[in-house]
C-alpha cells in the first residue's frame, strides 16, 4: 500500500487550511481552524471512504449536546416534521415525538387524530413498525419517518412499550389527514363562565382563540377558564398574543435576555377582548414554555388566578438558524422572564440530558404532585407580584395560586390495565361502529345526549368480558364498583367525542377533573382549596 510521506501530509494540510484561514482571518489557536484541519485531514487522508456530511452533522449534534437540553440540530426532513404540528395539515399517524437514546418517545398525540383514537398515549415508546424494530437498532430518524408515514387510509401496526405495563402493546393505526388545531375545546362550562382548552401555541392559536371568544360571548360569557394543562408550548409570539387579550395597556407580558441578546420586552397594547373578564388559568406538570409565559404573566400582573400543579419549567428561548441544505439548528440564545423578573427555567447540568428527562419522575417520587408541602423554594428565589405584592417563586416552573393534588387513588389497577391493554378504546370503537347511526338519530344534538344518554350495561359487560380474555380482571366486587365510577363517564365522553368533537369530550370529562372543579368553585364563590 502506497503511503504519504510525513512531510507531504503536512504540506497538504497547510495548503488545504491556509486559504480557509485567510478567508476567515482566523487566529492560530482558533477552534474553527482546528475543526477544519481535522475535517480536511479525515476527508483527504482517512484510510476508508467516509460520509463527510454525516460527520459534520454528528459534530454539530455533539456540540449542542454539551450545552442545554433544548439546543438541537434537525435535518431537513426533521425540520418539516417538527413544524407540521404548529403550522398546518399533514398525512400521518398523528403524534408529536422526540428521539431519546435511540427510541421514539411520543410527546403528545394530535387531538382526535388516528393514534389518539386507538389509545396511544404521551410517554409511549414506539419500538416496532409493522414488526420491524426501530428502537435500539441505530435506525435514522428519516428511515423511521418513512416507515410511519404513508398515504391516507393505509394502515400501520405499531409495537408500543408503556411505563408500568409489562407486556408490549400493539396498535393498528389508520393513517389520515391530520387537522392540526391549537384549541382542543371551546364551550360554556357554566352559565356566564366560558372554557377554552389550548393544546399548543401554533400559528393559528390567536385566530382560533378570538373566534372562540366571539362564540362564547354570544352565549353569555362573562368570565373565562383557560386550560393549559398538558400544553407543551409552541411559538412565543402566539403566547404573547393570547396574554395581550387579557392585560391592560403597557402591562409587561414577558421579556427575553441573553449573553448576546439585549433585553426584549413584550407588552400589552390595551386592545384585548377580555379586559373586563375574570380569568382563571389551569396548569399542571406538563404545562411548559409558552404556557408558562401566559400563566406567569397573569400571575405576576395579578390579572387572574392560576390553579393546578407546578408547571414544567422550560424558560429557554431558541433561535432557529437555517443551514444551506434546509437543516436547522435551534440554538438557545436567551432566557425568558416573567414580568416580576422570574426565570422559569428549572436547573440543569450541561450535557446531562438523562437527568433532565427524569425530572418529572423525580418530582413524582418526592411527592410534589400530591402535596404542596413537598415543594420547597429557597428565599433567594422569592419575587413579588406587581400589583398586590404577593409572594411568588422562580427557579423552576410556575407554582399555582391554588394547588390541586394529583389523585393517585382515582383509578384502580383494574381500570389502568383495561386502558393500557386497549380494552376500553377498542370496545368504544366497536360500540360506535355498531351504534353511530342510531345514536345520531336518537340524539339530534349534544345537549340532548349529555342530558339523557347513559352508558348501557351491555357496553360495560363487553369491556369486562374482553378483559377476562386477556386475564385482566378486578380482584373483587369493590374494585369493580370503584372502577365503574370513572369508567362510565369516560365511556360517555369517548362516545361524545366520536359523535361530535373534542369540545364535547371535555364537556363531559371536565366534570370529573379536580382542577376544573376547583376553578369553578373559585369563580362561583365557593371555598377553593389552597
Give tens-digit pLDDT for 383-394.
Answer: 999 999 999 988
Cβ 175 vs Cβ 114: under 8 Å: yes
Nearest by Cα to 266 from 340, 339, 343: 339
Burial (Cβ within 10 Å: 0-12, 13-18, ≥19) of residue 372? middle
CA 446 – CA 439 distance, rounded (Å): 11
Burial (Cβ within 10 Å: 0-12, 13-18, ≥19) of residue 444? exposed
The bridge status of strand 279-283 relative to strand 305-308 is: parallel
CA 287 – CA 292 distance, rounded (Å): 7
pLDDT at 29 over 90: no
Tell which wins on pLDDT, 4 or 420: 420
Q: What is the pLDDT of residue 134?
A: 92
Encode pLDDT of 171-193 as tens digits. Answer: 999 999 776 788 999 999 999 99
pLDDT at 303 over 50: yes
CA 252 – CA 269 distance, rounded (Å): 10
Query: CB 393: neighbour CB atoms within 10 A?
Result: 19
Q: What is the pLDDT of residue 309?
A: 96
Nearest by Cα to 197 from 522, 510, 523, 460: 510
CA 134 – CA 158 distance, rounded (Å): 10
- The answer for residues whose C-beta is within 8 angstroms of residue 387's C-beta and 6 or more apart is 301, 302
CA 404 – CA 122 distance, rounded (Å): 22
pLDDT at 2 over 60: no
Q: What is the pLDDT of residue 530?
A: 45
Calculate ∠ Cα 271-275-276, nearest 5°.
145
Cβ 327 vs Cβ 72: under 8 Å: no
pLDDT at 87 over 70: no
Encode pLDDT of 247-274 as tens digits. Answer: 999 999 999 999 888 999 999 999 999 9
pLDDT at 286 over 90: yes
Q: Which helix (H) or strand (E) holds 462?
A: helix 457-469
Q: What is the pLDDT of residue 155?
A: 94
Encode pLDDT of 508-522 as tens digits. Answer: 999 999 999 999 999
Cβ 126 vs Cβ 158: under 8 Å: yes
Q: What is the pLDDT of residue 121?
A: 86
Classify residue 282 by its DSSP letter: E
pLDDT at 324 over 70: yes
Q: What is the pLDDT of residue 348?
A: 77
Segment 53-63 mean pLDDT:
86
pLDDT at 505 over 80: yes
Q: What is the pLDDT of residue 89?
A: 59
Q: What is the pLDDT of residue 101?
A: 66
Encode pLDDT of 151-169 as tens digits. Answer: 889 999 999 998 778 889 9
pLDDT band at 225 (very low <50, low <70, confident <90, very high): very high
Nearest by Cα to 194 from 204, 183, 205: 183
| DSSP characters over 312-374 | ----EEEEEEE-TTS-EEEEEEEEEE-TTS-B-PPP--TT-HHHHHTHHHHHHHTTTTT-GGG
Segment 468-491 mean pLDDT:
95
Strand boundaries in 191-233, DSSP class E: 193-198, 223-227
Segment 10-33 mean pLDDT:
58
Q: What is the pLDDT of residue 451?
A: 96
CA 176 – CA 174 distance, rounded (Å): 6
Q: What is the pLDDT of residue 362?
A: 84
Which range of 109-123, 213-227, 397-411 scores highest in mean pLDDT? It is 213-227
> Would you please indicate which residues are annotated as catalytic (active-site) residues?
289, 300, 314
76: which 3 cell numbers?
431537513
Amino acid at each position: 500500500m502506497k503511503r504519504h510521506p510525513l512531510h507531504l501530509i503536512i504540506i497538504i494540510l497547510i495548503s488545504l487550511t491556509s486559504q480557509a484561514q485567510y478567508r476567515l482571518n482566523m487566529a492560530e489557536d482558533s477552534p474553527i481552524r482546528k475543526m477544519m484541519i481535522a475535517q480536511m485531514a479525515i476527508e483527504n487522508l482517512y484510510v476508508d471512504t467516509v460520509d463527510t456530511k454525516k460527520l459534520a452533522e454528528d459534530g454539530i449534534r455533539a456540540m449542542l449536546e454539551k450545552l442545554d437540553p433544548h439546543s438541537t440540530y434537525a435535518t431537513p426532513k426533521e425540520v418539516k416534521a417538527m413544524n407540521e404540528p404548529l403550522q398546518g395539515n399533514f398525512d400521518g399517524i398523528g403524534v408529536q415525538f422526540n428521539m431519546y437514546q435511540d427510541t421514539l418517545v411520543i410527546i403528545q398525540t394530535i387531538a382526535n387524530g388516528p393514534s389518539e383514537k386507538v389509545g396511544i398515549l404521551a410517554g409511549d415508546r414506539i419500538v416496532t413498525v409493522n414488526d420491524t424494530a426501530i428502537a435500539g437498532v441505530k435506525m435514522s430518524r428519516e428511515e423511521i419517518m418513512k416507515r410511519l408515514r404513508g398515504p391516507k387510509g393505509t394502515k400501520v401496526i405499531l409495537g408500543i412499550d408503556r411505563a408500568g405495563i409489562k407486556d408490549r402493546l400493539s396498535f393498528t393505526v389508520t393513517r389520515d389527514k391530520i387537522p392540526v388545531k391549537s384549541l382542543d375545546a371551546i364551550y360554556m362550562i357554566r352559565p356566564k363562565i366560558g372554557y377554552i382548552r389550548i393544546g399548543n401555541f401554533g400559528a393559528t392559536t390567536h385566530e382560533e382563540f378570538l373566534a372562540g371568544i366571539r362564540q362564547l360571548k354570544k352565549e353569555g360569557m362573562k368570565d373565562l377558564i383557560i386550560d393549559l394543562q398538558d400544553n407543551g408550548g409552541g411559538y412565543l409570539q402566539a403566547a404573547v398574543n393570547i396574554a395581550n387579550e387579557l392585560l391592560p395597556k403597557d402591562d409587561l407580558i414577558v421579556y427575553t435576555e441573553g449573553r448576546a441578546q439585549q433585553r426584549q420586552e413584550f407588552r400589552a397594547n390595551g386592545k384585548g377582548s377580555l379586559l373586563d373578564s375574570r380569568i382563571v388559568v389551569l396548569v399542571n406538570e406538563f404545562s411548559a414554555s409558552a404556557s408558562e409565559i401566559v400563566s406567569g404573566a397573569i400571575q405576576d400582573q395579578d390579572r387572574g388566578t392560576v390553579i393546578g400543579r407546578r408547571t414544567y419549567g422550560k424558560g429557554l428561548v431558541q433561535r432557529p438558524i437555517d443551514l444551506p441544505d434546509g437543516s436547522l439548528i435551534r440554538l438557545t440564545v436567551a432566557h425568558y422572564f416573567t414580568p416580576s423578573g422570574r426565570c422559569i427555567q428549572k436547573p440543569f447540568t450541561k450535557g446531562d440530558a438523562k437527568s433532565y428527562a427524569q425530572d418529572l419522575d423525580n418530582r413524582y417520587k418526592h411527592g410534589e404532585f400530591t402535596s404542596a408541602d413537598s415543594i420547597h423554594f429557597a428565599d433567594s428565589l422569592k419575587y413579588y407580584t406587581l400589583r398586590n405584592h404577593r409572594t411568588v417563586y422562580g427557579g423552576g416552573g410556575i407554582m399555582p395560586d391554588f394547588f390541586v393534588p394529583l389523585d393517585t387513588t382515582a383509578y384502580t389497577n383494574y381500570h389502568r390495565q383495561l386502558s393500557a391493554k386497549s380494552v376500553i378504546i377498542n370496545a368504544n370503537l366497536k360500540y360506535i361502529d355498531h351504534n353511530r347511526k342510531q345514536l345520531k338519530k336518537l340524539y339530534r344534538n349534544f345537549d340532548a345526549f349529555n342530558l339523557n344518554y347513559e352508558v348501557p350495561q351491555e357496553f360495560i359487560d363487553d369491556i369486562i368480558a374482553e378483559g377476562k380474555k386477556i386475564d385482566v380482571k378486578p380482584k373483587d366486587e369493590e374494585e369493580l364498583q370503584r372502577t365503574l365510577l370513572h369508567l362510565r363517564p369516560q365511556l360517555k365522553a369517548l362516545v361524545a367525542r366520536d359523535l361530535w368533537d373534542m369540545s364535547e369530550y371535555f364537556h363531559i370529562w371536565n366534570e370529573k377533573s379536580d382542577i376544573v372543579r376547583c376553578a369553578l368553585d373559585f369563580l362561583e364563590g365557593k371555598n377553593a382549596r389552597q
